[in-house]
Structure 1
Amino acid sequence: MPVPKNFVSPVRMSAKERAFAQIQRWIIDGTLQPGEKLLDAELAESLGVSRTPIREAFQLLEVQGLVSMHPGKETKVTAIEKEDIFKMYSTMAALQALAAEVTAKIIVPEQVDRLRAINMEFAAAIKSGQAYQAMEADEQFHNLIVELSDNPYVASFSASLQIHIRRFKYVFLKQPITATQASVDEHDSIIAAFERKDSDSARAMMKRNFTRPMQELHGLF
């Protein structure tokens, strides 16, 4: 299990939090492959921590469904199933479309400006080939819309799905810029719908923003 040595370590985090954040990122970006066996001793050495926070991180990652633990035997990165793309993305599209519909009715200009700024960060990350940063900016954009909709159930279910969708989204955002620019343009259309207080358009464009990459991703796997 080759583990990178030249990664940037988060600051002001406990050993467990640091281990959890880094291992999660390695699973999402494919450094740790689906089905790969995770060795706590090797990860502990690489991250400069003891084996205890690594094992605690494994427990958190298992709750998220990113690893499977078999005490006394092994811990592995969970597999990615192609058909999960449709199940995850269609569910997320429905949740996000609802959030967009509600947000369109209540959003204020300052919040629209914040969404526009985030989308500019998203576009810049795509242009510079920074797939992980692009993924984080994309999530900020959608999370803000969910937050503004003020629906804790949408927020909870979206957050749970987002962890798994990240593994697929990272693959999508690593595609050539011509393939990913459409996401930036769709964000612009959502923002324009918010400015018009057009809830129907906001809902429809948000749904498209998830169903289009869903179809494209299914063709990649």
Structure 2
Amino acid sequence: MPVPRGRGLVSRSLLREDAYRAIRDAIVDGTLAPGERLNDTDLVEWLGVSRTPVREALARLEQAGLVQTKPGRYTMVSPLDVRAARNARSVTAVMHELAVREALPNLSGAELDAMREANTRFADALRRDDVDAAIAADDDFHGVLVTACANGALQDVLERYTPVLRRLERLRFASLSGRESVAQHDRIIQLCAAGDAAGAAAATRANWETLAPLLETPPTDDDPARLDPTVATPAGDG
């Protein structure tokens, strides 16, 4: 899909971070498809910013593995890489486990309520087969603990690797087979409310590990992972 034709998505008064997040989100949700060429002029017009924040955003996205650049030739959205997504899932699982351990000693009742509310939205989105809403609610659920842990290094790691994982989820799967996650979330909330840091951390990691079978399913003929023959496909752990 070409770069959207609307003008001025990002206000000129906003920082370069907004340009980065707008392009990143468009890649993650599939608006900008794997293999699509990215033109500075189109992005500048779409976002309503100068070339500098666009080029800085593309450089960051290249570091995150979402964009590929060949100087003087092209910049494009990276093809899907299942192996990279598996690695991202392993890293995010460990980081979320650590977030629980660090957040729990000071977790408030309001934060527990926020987790319950996010899980209610998550369950509702799954019932409606709304993948985007389900992923957003799932991010909100886990985001309560990530914010509460107040660990900037942990948050930086998740900022880098979560988009890689979410991108493959959105593009490869038309719906979420994650209804068991509603009960897993409830269990995490119960353990957090009880002050059981070890139990809550283990339950959180187990929740993220449920993505493993999805990432190890061989792609079918119409799978977006086949958009580029160089895309890595999983061959088992190790």
Shared fold per TM-score greater than 0.5:
yes
Give the AA of the match of 2:207.
N
Does 2:207 correspond to 1:209?
A: yes
Q: Single out whichever of 202-211 and 60-69 deviates more from structure 2.
A: 60-69
User: 1:57 maps to which residue?
Assistant: 57
| Identity between Structure 1 and Structure 2 (%) | 32
User: 2:170 maps to which residue?
Assistant: 170
Give the AA of the match of 1:131.
V
Give the AA of the match of 1:22.
A
Give the AA of the match of 2:178.
T
Instruction: Evaluate the alpha carbon distance shift between residue 184 and residue 128 of structure 1 in structure 2; reply closer, same or farther with a 3 A threshold.
Output: same
Instruction: Evaluate the alpha carbon distance shift between residue 137 and residue 50 of structure 1 in structure 2; reply closer, same or farther with a 3 A threshold.
Output: same
CA distance in 2, matches of 1:19, 1:75: 16
Secondary structure of the structure 2 residue equivalent to 1:32: coil
Instruction: Evaluate the alpha carbon distance shift between residue 35 and residue 172 of structure 1 in structure 2; reply closer, same or farther with a 3 A threshold.
Output: closer
User: 2:31 maps to which residue?
Assistant: 31
Displacement of 1:171: 4.0
Instruction: Evaluate the alpha carbon distance shift between residue 14 and residue 134 of structure 1 in structure 2; reply closer, same or farther with a 3 A threshold.
Output: same
User: 2:87 maps to which residue?
Assistant: 87
8 A Cα contact 2:119 2:141, kept in partner: yes
Instruction: Evaluate the alpha carbon distance shift between residue 38 and residue 14 of structure 1 in structure 2; reply closer, same or farther with a 3 A threshold.
Output: same
Displacement of 1:163: 2.7
Instruction: Evaluate the alpha carbon distance shift between residue 214 and residue 133 of structure 1 in structure 2; reply closer, same or farther with a 3 A threshold.
Output: same
8 A Cα contact 2:95 2:158, kept in partner: yes
CA distance in 2, matches of 1:68, 1:110: 42
Displacement of 1:139: 1.8
Instruction: Evaluate the alpha carbon distance shift between residue 129 and residue 46 of structure 1 in structure 2; reply closer, same or farther with a 3 A threshold.
Output: farther
Instruction: Evaluate the alpha carbon distance shift between residue 47 and residue 100 of structure 1 in structure 2; reply closer, same or farther with a 3 A threshold.
Output: closer
Q: Single out whichever of 12-21 and 77-86 deviates more from structure 2.
A: 12-21
CA distance in 2, matches of 1:8, 1:123: 35
Alignment of 1:39-188 (within 5 A): 39-47=39-47, 53-171=53-171, 174-176=174-176, 179-188=177-186
- RMSD, matched Cα: 3.0
Q: How many residue pairs are counted as aligned between the two chains? A: 219
Deviations 1:23-57 (A, max 9, x none): 22221112222222212333444445565554343
User: 1:196 maps to which residue?
Assistant: 194
8 A Cα contact 2:20 2:57, kept in partner: yes
Runs of 5+ unmatched residues, structure 1? none
Give the AA of the match of 1:109.
G
Instruction: Evaluate the alpha carbon distance shift between residue 174 and residue 8 of structure 1 in structure 2; reply closer, same or farther with a 3 A threshold.
Output: farther
Secondary structure of the structure 2 residue equivalent to 1:25: helix
CA distance in 1, matches of 2:114, 2:18: 29
Give the AA of the match of 1:27.
I
Deviations 1:116-174 (A, max 9, x none): 11222223333334433332322222122122234333223222222322212434774
8 A Cα contact 2:7 2:48, kept in partner: no
Displacement of 1:5: 4.5
Instruction: Evaluate the alpha carbon distance shift between residue 113 and residue 84 of structure 1 in structure 2; reply closer, same or farther with a 3 A threshold.
Output: same
CA distance in 1, matches of 2:79, 2:166: 14
Q: Single out whichever of 14-23 and 82-91 deviates more from structure 2.
A: 14-23
